[in-house]
Structure 1
Amino acid sequence: MQALSHGSVLPHVILSCLLISWTEQENKATMVHYGRASTIWPRTLEILDQLDLAEGLLQIGFATRDALHFRDGHRIVGGFLFATRMDKLGVFPTVTFLQIRQRRTEEHFTAALKDQGTHQHIRTRLESFTLEESAENGYPVTVQARNLDNNELFEIKTKYLIGADGAHSTVRSLAGIAFNGERTTTRWIRIDGVVKTTMPNPRCLCSIDSKSHGQILWVPLDNGVTRIGYVFSQELLEKYGGLEGVTEKVVEEEAILALQPFKLEFLAIHWFTTYGVKQAIAEKFFVQDRIFLAGDACHTHSSGAAQGLNTGIHECLNLRGLGRKSLLESYNEERKPSAQKASSYFNLNRVIDNDKTISMLISGKYPPRFQGRTEHPRYDFIVLPMSENILLCTRDILTENFLNAEGTSTIMPGERGPDVYLTCVGIATPIRLHQVLKNEGKFNIVVFAGNPLLSHAALEGLNSALAAPTSFTRTFPAERVFRFTTLTAAAGDGVTDVLGVPPFGGGCLYFDAESRAHAMYGVEVNRGAIVVFRPDGWVGCVVPLEKVDQLGNYFGHFLVPVSGTPSRP
């Protein structure tokens, strides 16, 4: 997470920004260590990998690659289906997704923050905040918080306030942001425990059709634990006298009945919950460029498609230290369509709208558009394995001129940059592109140099253009916001010997001798291209080698020039 900066560019650090999710009211040392969000999709793993956080999670989580569906004790077609175009996922997501209980994820993140010197305030509650844009000290947000251990009230002055404080967000309430949505009468049970069963492949993601308990969710978790989910119908509520009668023994007995004809035995129960399904979305995600919402604070949905944890992480990655006010305003325009519905241009996942359909199917009901059908619902629905979200700059920032200049690449701005293996210079060991493009809060400018024997003239021109006084690397603080990487569709013993010119931008060169990266990105080896990756790994811009000057226009839309250079109006 980086702080936002209005009118400046910040390095990859947390600075002058209060993230309310780090001011926890609950005592993490004593609270239950089980339950809650558990699924991390491949795209989120990619994000965490670029932050050096994925490997530790993979060590303690459970990787799932397949899904099975059962009815009447037999495997059938239906249930969880996975989105197509897995070829676009590249190298890293060979693991379909990772299952790990939220408390263990939190512990991993907290340890990583501690290593970086970031302190988490436990047992702290936000009381109020004030916003004074005219503050001379540059910290216009004043937060009043209470230490719940000693009841002391204290103040924090900050540049920005990010409310990642859940569905009942205090930040959202104090900011007066409406939270509109629908609450259904459906209630679901989730129970985590160690089990024995006669169901085939119990350490695989499974779903089971049930005439009495909706669609049963079966999820293998970390440490040999399994999560079972089922619908707790109105009939069951009446059977047990309402929610007060829903005990651990009740949810255990109903889980055993729900799984029939498979046998089920609980060796241990770690956690269970019953909850209602609600889809809601905040009227806006930010206030006056200073107050932002993220995660459940700005949108809630059921757990049916496992989107909550993932979308929250993606939102945090969208909050960047980039500069102009126009970029801050783009946060609302980027995230709200992602959470609510598909973009008319990119046709991505309808998180809220899809969740309404998915939650009805799981509950054993047909969505309104299928009313009147009499056969048993097959519960066929797609779960996108990347938790797709529209993450490109708005059209005012990313203009039509940059959507794909002259067909330079088959990758379009606004798409995720796929992973691919490269080769290190000298030692010839393989390395993944995403390992090279670490998330350090900078734009990664990747020069696909093609085969230098064929693209030599363009490479010479690029070298001269970057050295010119008018280069965008002189206009903006290059060391703080840009990092260059060069890929050649050729190999050899030395960088200059292969490339023919010094490495661009002082960055590193990697060999793509078999042209796998060039092919993945659709770059011709005789032409080359420049692909700009946003700090979050999404493609922001694609230009030909000979038109590097267009990058000045692209970055000029949202970066603030260094002192003494002309500013884009």
Structure 2
Amino acid sequence: MSEELEHLRADVLIVGGGPVGSLVAYQLARFGCKPLLVEQDDKNTMPCYGRACTLWPRTIELLDAVNMAEKLMQLGVATRSGLHFHEGRRVKGGLMYGSRMDKLGDTFFKFALHLRQRLTEEEFIKALQEYDIKPYLLHSIERYRIDESIEDYPVTADVRNLANGQTVQIKAKYIVGADGGKSTVRKLASISFDGEHTKHRWIRMDAVVKTDMPNPRNLNSIDSASHGQILWCPNDNGLTRIGYVFSQALLEKYGGEEGVTMEVAMEEAKKAVSPFKLEFERVDWFTIYGIGQRIAGTFCAQDRVFLAGDACHTHSSGSAQGLNTGVHDAINLAWKLALRVQGIGKKTLLDSYDAERRPLVQRVIDNDKTISMLISGQYPPRFEGRNEHTREILTEWFEDINMQSFTLGLGISYAPSILNFEDPGPSRATVNPGERAPDVYLTKLGTGDPIRLQSILKNNAKFSIIIFSGNPAYTKPSYSSVQAALSHPQSFTALFPKRVFRWFTIPSVFGNGGQEVLGVAPIGTVYLDESVKAHEIYGVDPTRGAIIVFRPDSWVGTVVPMDESGVKKLNGYFDGILERE
């Protein structure tokens, strides 16, 4: 294996073959780059054990945009609702964000997907191998150096083959450290990992069980006086994930963590779910672990080294944010790296990775501190002086609509920046730059078949420019002015690589052909918004129209008028993030 690596060069060296590292590698290959993925463990011989198992709606949307969601859905278990119990009765509370997901708004992924982490990463690896790229197992990075005078491959990494002890050098343009909470890449880059480790201990286990709990294949939760709030999560292959607090009193009862055997975990689980009955047919995995929240001082070092996933943030599984946050890292980073590698993106594009992701991860960690304390039966600092039981405060926390939206990923947005540019002129839409693109049905020409807007925003490391052209009876002159402006030799379409743009026109009327509806030759592919629902959701006036730029990851980049002035504004927008040809 090392002989194969001896003279190997890659656009990006990715360290860590877990779900985040393998997803970054897959995307880079999909975007036309050459990744090289190394992993220190032999994944082929490792058992398929627990770890993360829940993907929330926005994460599934993002994976769908890179053609991975359907593959995972074929293997996992979807839940659309959940129940919460107190003393055997169904009550208000618990994992509110996972309950009645049919009520979610502008997403078509109104469910959570449960699939053990190892199976998720295996699907990513299979997809990567479709591009004839395989991970190098039993390989560990030892050091790296950067020499910017070497223009093509400024990064040199020493990688050791753990099977035979040989060390080889790999030339690359960038390194991505996705190698977990004990990240070697982070340590080599001298990046701090600040945070805290609490005394709380939790049990997590995957088992095949029998129970008299109502609807046991829902994402349920249970109040327990002795074991905190119990997680009950259906999982793949007929398994159920059970989680509960292992208090200090229980640790003392069993003589510390060393005394917590599988039999102990099973016995305490039965007590935790009381008064429901619980029988174990098989336990595949269990763990007892401490709660800690840490975040890297930066997600990028020396402009060549990036961190993603647990390598740059760790937290509890209290609201299942670990893998979801890691996937968001991977999606945000990969297209930016790809455009930079291909000479299309400016350095400012890569700089936006840390600027966008780290503040959001900090919010995840701040939330996690509150949730983990409440689940463990303690009062967080922000709730000092409250007299209610912690379970009531936890219900209050999870009932907050903004908290639910953020937890599910649908409310995640990025701050205004050169990439999420807010036009200072009159508002042309109610959706703001940096916000997730709402999903809505459009209609295909001819067949009249419905098609989701997000399904045309596939993540191919390209910007999708959608002209919401409204009703042509009012907007034909301004639409024609856009065509004329785009044909100008100083238009951004002439200054920047055409392959980075995808064009669509969406009129808000019925018709049988694009040119027939618009009265002029269409710009890009035409889909119809016959119900005017898309224009309404995006807040675009059908009598005026608007041009909306969607980033490759389907967050809104900018909104400009549908006229010559709008095209000029797009010149400035893309000049800030793309290299001219």
- 1:90 maps to 106
Cα displacement (A) at 1:468:
1.4
TM-superposition CA deviations, 1:125-148 (whole Å, max 9, x none):
111111111114x21111111122
Q: Identify if the C-alpha distance between structure 1 residues 396 and 498 changes in structure 2 by more than 3 Å, giving closer, same or farther.
A: closer
Q: Please give the alpha-carbon distance, in whole angstroms, between the structure 1 residues aligned to 2:57 and 2:166.
A: 43
Pick one of 222, 228, 248 that aligns with 1:234. Answer: 248
**Counterpart among 358, 361, 369 of residue 382 in structure 2:** 369
- The offset of 1:503, in angstroms, is 2.2
* Shift in Å, 1:485: 1.0
Match of 1:536 among 536, 539, 553: 553
- Aligned length, in residue pairs: 538
Task: State the secondary structure of the residue aligned to 1:135.
Answer: coil
Contact residue 99 and residue 220 of structure 1 kept, 8 A: yes
| Aligned counterpart for 1:180 among listed residues 194, 198, 209 | 194
Question: Which of 120, 123, 141 does residue 138 from structure 2 map onto?
Answer: 123
Partner of 2:86: 71
Deviation at 1:389, TM superposition (A): 7.3
Q: Residue 279 of structure 2 aligns with which residue?
A: 265
Decide whether the 8 Å contact of 1:17 with 1:160 is kept in 2.
Answer: no
**Which of the residues 514, 517, 534 maps onto 1:498?**
517
Distance 1:122 1:255 in 2: 36
> 3-state SS of the aligned residue for 1:284?
coil
Task: Letter of the 2:129 partner, please give it.
Answer: K
| 1:442-481 alignment, distance < 5 Å | 442-478=462-498, 480-481=499-500
What's the TM-score, normalizing by structure 2?
0.89
8 Å contact kept, 2:12–2:175: no
Q: Which residue of 1 aligns with 2:568?
A: 549
Aligned-CA RMSD value: 2.2
Deviation at 1:392, TM superposition (A): 3.7
SS of 1:554's partner is: helix
Q: Taking structure 1 as reference, are residues 431 and 65 closer, same or farther at Cα in structure 2, changes over 3 Å only?
A: same
Spell out, residue by residue over 1:355-379, the C-alpha distance to the aligned partner (whole angstroms, 9 max, x if none).
0000011111121232344443223
CA contact (8 A) 1:337 1:390 kept: no
- Cα-to-partner distance string for 1:255-303 (whole Å, 9 max, x where unaligned): 0011111110011111111111000111111012100011111111101
Residue pair 2:217, 2:234 contacting (<8 A) in 1 also: yes
Asked if residue 135 in structure 1 is aligned to residue 157 in structure 2, the reply is no
Contact between 1:17 and 1:162, CA under 8 Å: does it hold in 2? no
Change in Cα spacing, 1:17 to 1:113, as seen in structure 2 (3 Å) is: closer
Unaligned runs of 5+ in 2: 1-9, 14-27, 399-403
Distance change >3 Å, CA 412–CA 205, structure 1 → 2: same
Tell me how far 1:151 sits from its aligned partner.
Answer: 2.1
Within 5 Å, which residues of 2 pair with 1:121-200? Answer: 121-136=136-151, 138-200=152-214
- C-alpha change, 1:552 and 1:159, in structure 2 (3 Å) is same
- One-letter identity of the residue aligned with 2:506: L
With CA pairs under 8 Å and 6+ residues apart, which has the higher RCO, 1 or 2?
A: 1
1:565 — aligned with what? none
User: After superposition, where does 1:147-546 map in structure 2 within 5 Å?
Assistant: 147-319=161-333, 320=336, 321-322=339-340, 323-340=345-362, 350-378=363-391, 379-380=394-395, 381-382=397-398, 383=404, 384-387=406-409, 392=414, 395-401=417-423, 405-478=425-498, 480-504=499-523, 507-546=524-563
Partner AA of 1:73 in structure 2: G
Give the whole-Å Cα distance in 1 for the aligned partners of 2:534 and 2:411. 24
Write the deviation string for residues 192-239 of structure 1: whole angstroms up to 9, x where unpaired: 011111111111111111111111111111222110000111111111
State the SS of the aligned residue for 2:578. coil
Report which stretch shifted further, 530-539 or 547-556: 547-556
Match for 2:131: what amino acid?
A: Q
Instruction: Give the TM-score of the pair, scaled to structure 1.
Output: 0.91
Alpha-carbon distance in 1 for matches of 2:447, 2:295: 51
TM-superposed deviation, 1:57: 1.0
The 5 A counterparts of 1:38-57 are 38-57=53-72
Query: Given the superposition, is the C-alpha separation of residues 257 and 539 from structure 1 closer, same or farther in structure 2, using an over 3 Å criterion?
Result: same
- Does the CA contact (< 8 Å) of 2:416 and 2:422 recur in 1? no
Find the counterpart in structure 2 of residue 566 from structure 1: none
2:6 is matched with which residue?
A: none
Give the equivalent residue in structure 2 for 1:344.
Answer: none
Percent same amino acid among aligned pairs?
A: 53
Q: For the residues of structure 1 that align with 2:47 and 2:328, how far apart are their CA atoms?
A: 26
Gaps of 5+ in 1: 341-349, 563-569
Instruction: Tell me how far apart the structure 1 counterparts of residues 217 and 276 of structure 2 sit (CA, whole Å).
Output: 15
SS at 1:266 equivalent: strand
d(CA) in 2 for partners of 1:178, 1:86? 42
The answer on whether the counterparts of 2:508 and 2:542 sit within 8 Å (CA) in structure 1 is: yes
Contact 1:144 1:153 in 2 (8 A): yes
Which letter maps to 1:357?
T
1:10-49 counterparts in 2 under 5 A? Answer: 13=31, 15=33, 17-18=35-36, 22-49=37-64
Change (3 A) 1:94 1:398: closer
Q: CA deviation at 1:390?
A: 5.3
1:401 and 1:488 mapped to 2: Cα distance? 23
Q: How much has 1:391 moved relative to structure 2?
A: 5.4
Asked if structure 1 preserves the Cα contact closer than 8 Å seen for 2:422 and 2:558, the reply is no
| CA offsets 1:292-319 (integer angstroms, 9 cap, x no match) | 0111111111011111111111111222
